[in-house]
Structure 1
Amino acid sequence: MTTTPGPATDADIPGYLRALGIPGLADIHVHFLPQQMMDKVWAYFDQAEQHYGRPWPIHYREDEDSRLARLRGFGLAAIPSLSYAHKPGMATWLNTWSRDFARRVPGAVRCATFYPEPGAAAYVREAIDDGTRLFKLHIQVGGFAPDDPLLDEAWSALEQSRTPVVIHAGSAPLRGQFTGPDPVRRVLGKHPDLVLVIAHMGMPEFHAFADLVPDYPGVHLDTTMVGTDFTNEFAPIPRDYIDRLPGLRDRVILGTDFPNIPYPYAHQLESLARLGLGDDWMRAVLWENGVRLLDLPSGS
């Protein structure tokens, strides 16, 4: 089994992709937000030592055009604009901004979010009908249960349309009242055909979230921050979990959390390569699975 060493720097990414024989990257976990909201997110991370007990310097604190240029230089075939709501009324504002982002940015993936509130089902259906291809929820930041009854009809609409939802439900870097695999399993018990992408592979509950994969055909795991030097300090990937990953190859998809990461983008790719799972596994995770889930042209 051949494992090509991952890129040491961002400048090495295109050469690494050529060595793997893939035309680009299909990253499902990228954030673009209204600037006033992005500024608040960055201000929060500036105080990371108060929240997490460790600094979290934003590596790509740049304007929107610069960030878009970087991602295109890395080889992203499509660019998501993931956002998430933490109070009533916020989702519709974010969804309008994300719609406009997708209209003005070539190659953007139309994204949306939702929140447990009256009308959630209606605006989720509207977003789907209007071409939304990817949704995002953050359970700890949002402070709500994913199985809240106010979300039942929204989940039904997403299940019926098979629209993927990236859901941050793991308990890292901060545990929340509703984080962990059990609420997600309850959602899937009612909506077994949902396409759910478990952000960060559900760290630190790696195994419990992976246990959902064989039971539900739409459950995937994204790689966001997994195995990096930064997260290995507080949520290390277990050795026996790495041993499970070859069997999960078709259900693991690249995610990075760009731009809100405290290291270069290349480090995520390098961290996955150093797991030693082989180039076939890397090709599936970095390209093939994301192309399928985001419905991209395979030769992008």
Structure 2
Amino acid sequence: MGAMSDMPVREEAAGIRRFWEALSLPGLVDVHTHFMPERVLRKVWEYFDKLGPLTGGMEWPIAYRHEEAERAALLREFGVRAFTSMLYPHKPGMARWLNGWAADFAGRTPDCLHTATLYPEPGVEAYVREAVEAGARVLKAHVQVGAYDPADELLDPAWGLLADAGVPVVIHCGSGPAPGRHTGPEPIARVLARHPRLRLVVAHMGMPEYEEFLGLAERYGQVRLDTTMAFTDFSEGFMPFPRRALPRLAALGDRVVLGSDFPNIPYPYVHQLHALERLGLGEEWLRAVCHDNAAELFDL
């Protein structure tokens, strides 16, 4: 895929709209987009620019390096009806502050699903409860960046609270693009064994442990997978989805949801949609993944 300069935004937006209009959809729902305090986002972008180890050391040009308001406006131009502000702490003491920022962002951005986050630390149950009571509709957990065990006993009350409240958690727990101390299916399987009703959305389809995470979704009825970066030329080049697993992916069509990682992607947004289309799983599957599954999950 070419750089963003090769595809004017207006042209790309028209192509994205043609995609979902051809499926007779009212737009897209993207469960995995990043909005966070500007100084935090700049540090994230600097990390990508420096080819940090958590990116697998790969060239990763940020396709949509725009100011906050412009990024939100761009998603609307693409026809994204609802999106998220995926944000995450990398150390204790950050999560409550990030949740305050995210609540404010959701208040001034009606089409953003109010997002919150958490970290294994004293007080986590209290601030997660505060976030849920304040209207948080989705949480983000990042096992790789946070370098924590999701089965840490400190998190147990928070997972239980979220399971009871039915609030989905988008969790980066696979070992891509580079493994962390607690990534992979085993730690999150321990969480699900304790909290089988937890609405976990496994980010990036669990890349590269795709089949193991498909197995967790097959075992637990509330586990979902998001498509973020999966099936794209970029990811297929180093962590390809196994073709033998396509029938299982098709069978889980009601529990796969669209994610993009916007703005932190090294290719145009439309490429994620074309990557899903070329799987050849049919229009009904695409409609469910690109809109209907998330619309039902979040009661849109």
Instruction: Answer yes or no: same fold by TM over 0.5.
Output: yes
Matched residue count: 289
Gaps of 5+ in 2: 1-10
Matching of residues 263-282 of structure 1 within 5 Å: 263-282=267-286
- 1:28–1:290 Cα contact (<8 Å) kept: yes
Aligned-partner residue type, residue 80 of structure 1 = T
The structure 1 residue matched to 2:130, chosen from 94, 110, 126, is 126
* 2:58 is the alignment partner of 1:46: no
* 2:246 is the alignment partner of 1:242: yes
* 2:216 is the alignment partner of 1:216: no
Q: Residue in 1 aligned with 2:263?
A: 259
For 1:197 and 1:49, how far apart are their aligned partners in 2? 25
Aligned-partner residue type, residue 43 of structure 2 = K
Aligned-partner residue type, residue 45 of structure 2 = W
Instruction: Find runs of 4+ consecutive structure 1 residues off by over 4 angstroms.
Output: none
Shift of 1:214: 2.2
Aligned-partner residue type, residue 129 of structure 1 = E
For 1:277 and 1:190, how far apart are their aligned partners in 2? 33
- 1:180–1:205 Cα contact (<8 Å) kept: yes
Shift of 1:105: 1.3
For 2:291 and 2:226, how far apart are their aligned partners in 1? 12
What's the % identity of the aligned pairs? Answer: 54
Structure 2 SS opposite 1:243: helix
Aligned-partner residue type, residue 272 of structure 1 = L
Gaps of 5+ in 1: 1-7
Shift of 1:107: 1.5
Taking structure 2 as the reference length, the TM-score comes to 0.94
Q: Residue in 2 aligned with 1:108?
A: 112
Structure 2 SS opposite 1:213: helix
- 2:214–2:249 Cα contact (<8 Å) kept: no
Provide, for residues 207-261 of structure 1, a one-character-per-residue CA deviation record: whole Å limited to 9, x for no partner. Answer: 0001011221110000000010001111111101223211010010000000000
Shift of 1:48: 1.7
Aligned-partner residue type, residue 93 of structure 1 = W
Aligned-partner residue type, residue 16 of structure 2 = I
Q: Residue in 2 aligned with 1:93?
A: 97
* 2:236 is the alignment partner of 1:225: no
Which stretch of structure 1 is more off in the superposition, 163-172 or 106-115?
A: 106-115
Aligned-partner residue type, residue 127 of structure 1 = A
Q: Residue in 2 aligned with 1:163?
A: 167
Inter-CA distance 52–210: structure 2 relative to 1 (3 Å threshold): same
Which stretch of structure 1 is more off in the superposition, 187-196 or 237-246?
A: 237-246
For 1:285 and 1:178, how far apart are their aligned partners in 2? 28
The CA RMSD over aligned residues, in Å, is 1.1
- 1:9–1:267 Cα contact (<8 Å) kept: no
Q: Residue in 2 aligned with 1:4?
A: none
Aligned-partner residue type, residue 251 of structure 2 = G
Shift of 1:10: 3.8
